[in-house]
């Protein structure tokens, strides 16, 4: 009889988290409990996603969140699940959610803890009706203030102060990936026993990348440097043969694939939406947690000019451009931006008419001069 269990000794996520404590001599078990409760949240949310079409929890609520996006019913369920697992434990000073305009306070009747939990309850939820993989992203910080209810000061910390981060992806299987700064490890949920089992120990980004992931329909709204980098990714430079394009539209799914198989995901700044001149993705709830994972797996994350983990957030829902994946590719993107975009503002200029001309010219050159290099090396 074939076995579908991972090879080697079986290890549950609970045991693995406990063993990770040896890297933190100051650990008291509080962080361990917090991570395990996030794993439990993943089990609950994943179970409901699998039954969403039958349980009538697909679709929108008819409301918009602080981001101006339609709130999905599963967004609400996922957020409530995470909140109810963590509001009473005494581990947290406060929480922050992509769906909420302000920090989430811990009720006064419960003790205040020393950690802060930030999360995107259901990334990619606009795709849920199409049965596309979605995920939960989270990060954990130590509070800055010494006592009392958590404040914005506790939340507005750069990613280089993250204690642990991770994501749970709900797809053909439910998988949790996390890091406490000592490697990146992946666990697959065995639905027969209801446990996350270690399936991907010590994940490292492959040295040879396979994919680039970007919403290329926005190309005419990008700066010159980003357009040139994208053509480089397509192999329009004789010095690089190019990569295959893969873009799902669910960030956590695109990131997960490239983490395991190598590549780069990027969401540049543009002016397609004047309300989002620095891009779409949230620094605290999406970019910093995944940047922490990427760097602990040997990758890198940047806003095009600065390491994501070094950016000091100034507001809860701050947006930034994101380039994340293989270090060599992210650094190449930075190189193109430095060479062709003279200021940070250039990254968010529309260059609409010039971009259209540039794109059309490139397409014509491909037809007329199929063997010629299109993109000067930066």
50 occurs within a structural domain: yes
207 phi and psi angles, rounded to 5 deg: -65, -35
Question: Are residues 26 and 167 both part of a single domain?
Answer: yes
Sheet architecture: strand order including 244-245? 244-245, 211-213, 263-267, 322-325, 300-302
**In this predicted structure, what is the pLDDT of residue 368?**
45
Please report whether residue 374 resides in a domain.
no
- Please give the DSSP secondary-structure letter assigned to residue 180: S
Residue from 359, 332, 349 nearest 266 by CA: 332
Q: Does any domain span residue 3?
A: no
Last residue of a domain, one of 180, 200, 220: 200
Residue 42 lies in a domain: yes
Domain with residue 259: its CATH number is: 3.40.190.80
| Count of domains observed in the chain | 2
The reported pLDDT for the residue numbered 4 is 54
Identify the domain boundary among 200, 227, 249. 200
Quick one: which of 126, 341, 313, 117 has its CA closest to 222?
341
227 and 359 Cβ atoms separated by less than 8 Å: yes
Report residue 83: phi and psi, to 5°: -60, -50
Over the chain (378 residues), the average pLDDT of each successive run of 10 is: 58 91 78 96 94 58 52 86 98 97 97 98 85 95 96 98 98 96 97 95 97 95 95 88 94 98 96 79 98 99 98 98 98 97 56 45 46 42
CATH of the domain at 146: 3.30.540.10
Q: Tell me, yes or no, whether 123 and 229 share the same domain.
A: no
What pLDDT score was predicted for residue 56?
55
pLDDT at residue number 378: 41
190 in the same domain as 224: no
Q: Which residue range is the domain that position 25 belongs to?
A: 13-200
pLDDT for the residue numbered 210: 98
User: For residue 175, what pLDDT is reported?
Assistant: 98
- Cα Rg, the chain, nearest whole Å: 21
- Tokens 């446990």 correspond to what residue? 195
pLDDT at 62: 47
């Amino acid at each position: 009889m074939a076995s579908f269990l991972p090879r080697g000794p079986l290890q549950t996520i609970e045991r693995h988290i406990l063993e990770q404590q040896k890297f933190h001599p100051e650990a008291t078990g509080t962080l361990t409990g917090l991570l395990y409760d996030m794993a439990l949240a993943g089990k609950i949310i994943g179970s409901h996603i699998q039954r969403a079409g039958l349980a009538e929890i697909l679709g929108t609520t008819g409301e918009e969140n602080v981001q101006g996006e339609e709130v999905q019913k599963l967004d609400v369920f996922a957020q409530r699940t995470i909140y109810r697992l963590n509001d009473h434990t005494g581990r947290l000073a406060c929480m922050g959610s992509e769906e909420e305009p302000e920090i989430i306070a811990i009720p006064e009747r419960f003790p205040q803890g020393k950690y802060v939990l930030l999360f995107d309850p259901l990334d990619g939820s606009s795709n849920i009706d199409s049965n596309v993989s979605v995920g939960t992203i989270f990060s954990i910080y130590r509070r800055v203030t010494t006592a009392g209810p958590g404040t914005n000061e506790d939340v507005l910390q750069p990613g280089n102060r993250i204690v642990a981060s991770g994501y749970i992806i709900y797809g053909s299987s439910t998988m949790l990936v996390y890091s406490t700064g000592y490697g990146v490890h992946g666990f697959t949920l065995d639905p027969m026993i209801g446990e996350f089992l270690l399936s991907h120990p010590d994940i490292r980004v492959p040295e040879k990348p396979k994919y680039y992931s970007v919403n290329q329909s926005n190309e005419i709204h990008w700066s010159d440097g980003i357009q040139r980098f994208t053509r480089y990714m397509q192999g329009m430079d004789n010095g690089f043969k190019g990569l295959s394009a893969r873009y799902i539209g669910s960030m956590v799914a695109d990131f997960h694939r490239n983490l395991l198989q190598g590549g780069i995901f990027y969401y540049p700044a543009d002016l397609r939406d004047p309300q989002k001149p620095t891009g779409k993705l949230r620094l605290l709830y999406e970019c910093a947690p995944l940047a922490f994972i990427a760097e602990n797996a040997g990758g890198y994350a940047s806003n095009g000019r600065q390491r994501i983990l070094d950016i000091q957030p100034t507001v809860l829902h701050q947006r930034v451009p994101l380039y994340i994946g293989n270090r060599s590719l992210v650094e190449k993107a930075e190189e193109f931006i430095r060479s062709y975009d003279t200021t940070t503002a250039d990254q968010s200029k529309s260059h609409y008419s010039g971009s259209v001309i540039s794109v059309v010219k490139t397409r014509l050159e491909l037809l007329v001069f199929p063997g010629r290099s299109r993109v000067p090396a930066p």
